[in-house]
A and B are shown apart, each in its own frame.
Chain A
Amino acid sequence: MNKENLDLKVNIGGVVLKNPVTVASGTFGSGREFAEFIDLNRLGAVTVKGVSSIPWKGNPAPRIAETYGGMLNSVGLQNPGVEELIKNDIPFLRQYDTKIIVNIAGKTIEEYCDVAEKLSHADIDLIELNISCPNVKEGGVAFGIDARMAKEVTREVKRHSKHPVIVKLSPNVTDITQIAKAVAEGGADGLSLINTLLGMAIDIHRRKPILANVVGGFSGPAIKPVALRMVYQVAKAVSLPIIGMGGITTGEDAIEFILAGATAVAVGTANFRNPRATMDVLDGIKEYMLNNGIKSLDEIRGIV
């Protein structure tokens, strides 16, 4: 067996990725900057930064705080709006032989549906619905922490989207399997998890939070055990394909997620420390397969 005849293909909602490695939304921009570091053709898919129906300004700085083995961010989904993405970023990415996943954000169900509708005519492959956004109509409660709202937004976006819809789950809940089941009932074609954990850091000299927004999303290697546990639980609870993420830095990390039941994996914060992290993960997966006589990841997926 050699690297060439390994079967790395995975199917997410009817879309076939040539390998299971993609990137976590918001950690890769639209891929342009990373094209200077890696060959984007080698990625199974590129997941672009979150977009909303109109431009969002985002939160004040400081937006970044480093924590042990991880980081906090309070970017607040700053983005130029879906139309800019369709005009500038999609044509750029289409030059590459990789699938395109567009992560969408909204503050009301109508806004989510509006983005999905605008994307229906765009040349993309999958929509990733970020339900961690606060719902302004429901007093700012995130869609992703309420099973009823999560199901409803999934159902509505599905109705307005021509593309298959993956729903990205928030880990900031008591029982993530309940949200996963609700979203599956809403008609999701796949799941991705986890989004960032809510965290905080304080500057003891200034005696103030480091982030201007006080709290922010915790990501990076430090969150991997939590992410892995949640992927494991969700994989046992629903039969949808899962894109696993949360602290993945190496091929070994990715294999752990696949053993726990993930169909594909996304590399996030690791891209900041090492712009070649996705390539290291892909090469690491192949090496593990070769060393262990595995021809297809189906042989090991979810066996734990």
Chain B
Amino acid sequence: MADRIILQVTRYRPEDEAQPTFREYEVPCPKEWVVLDGLNYVKDHLDGTLSHRWSCRMGICGSCGMTVNGEPKLTCATFLSDYAPGPVRVEPLANFPIIRDLVVEIGDFMQKLAHVKPWIIRQEEKPLSEGEYQQTPEELDAYKQYSMCINCMLCYAACPVYGLDPKFLGPAAIALAQRYNLDSRDQGEKERMELLSQHEGIWGCTFVGDCTKACPKNVDPAGAIQRYKLKAALAWLKDIFVPRGAK
């Protein structure tokens, strides 16, 4: 195996250039190196002006998402040697505006997360003296998968609906809403349903399914959205066919 590999990295310096360009860097490629190691090598040894986001280096913080050879990936979990002999093209995450180099603007996503009310909503809090809200392992299992999301936004980069219409609430936000809806301690499903059953909510999704393929945490946001659609459709049917008094 070659011991060096070429990275083709997007550079965008808004103060000097009107559009992003590519720049090539040659970096070492030991078998334990991930794409992020390559980028850090560039930053430390070759070109200190490169900007990119990262923090944990272990697939937990969700900040190192980029487009590697056209696919949305966590760069800390994507091995350089898998792309040998190269070159490897590293671009910012698709579907988000670029601020600089590999750094994208995520304000829209942050707003969307908060929009679905991702916290436990109670109609009535029980008094402290009654102790905590307990949960069985089965009740935990019902939502655990959706709670694994690390907000890396790879699913948004994979979603053509979001690319075409940035108003679409998008995979992770809907999966996060499901995480709370399916929590036995939560009573906010109705409130969230009003937000999510709008056109830009679940109905924007046409089941492309690429969000689920891109997700590094097996959250299966596409599944979460289809479950939600079924639930919304049943609620709508119930509204029409069940007489008011009987509900």
Do A and B interact? no
Instruction: Spell out B's residues near A (CB within 8 Å).
Output: none
Query: What residues of chain A have their CB less than 8 Å away from a CB belonging to chain B?
Result: none
